[in-house]
Structure 1
């Protein structure tokens, strides 16, 4: 069985230059070192893997967060649902690039040249088309938009 663990570390504050706090970065790095599929975001980190692997890694992840200055760690743990059971299509190789190219075509050029409002609209279109269901999609979309991945997360968290 696979598990998905989503955790947040507090306090919520950005470091100088808009970087995430050390406790959040250290926890995510520890998850990566443990070999877990890790998605790092401004409001939390999600890790996925075999149940034994996830459960064995969590104490070290939390230790890294606390050593980095976290005063609280909140955890949500779920049995991961295989893509074939979610009703969402399984991403294909090159699928993200194809979806980005489609949205660029609709906007008439590279996403990096769009205004802020149009970049927000582009992120909504990408989300509607399942782009963010694909592994490592946020960094790729951020690169295409010419923004940071934290900006992409901010666009995703905005209400339409």
Structure 2
């Protein structure tokens, strides 16, 4: 993707946005090729690049691959505590709102859906204890 007219400030803008678009799994296009669901970015009043965002299901696969790269090993080889942390991260990023999200994550972690739900529930209980002051005693 090259900047329109070779303007250095536009090229710098596009270069600055590229790592974010790549991290999201998006695609950069010339603005005249933008579709109705694409996001057109402007610089100094001129449309300079369109961003095509990935489908949610593709995003989950991309997030799982990034977590695997970050950890330096297949997610299925992580210990239980690390798998729970992965589930916490994925829950915070909305992974379980995607259709078949729990199944996809369970497969990547090498655990059952039931285990993923247990990890999610454990996180919810931990948050609830934090809201109650962390005493571990439930109010009556």
TM-score in terms of structure 1 length: 0.42
TM-score (norm 2): 0.47
Of structures 1 and 2, the larger Rg is shown by 2
Larger RCO: Structure 1 or Structure 2 (Cα < 8 Å, ≥ 6 residues apart)?
1
Structure that is richer in helix per residue? 2
Higher strand share: 1
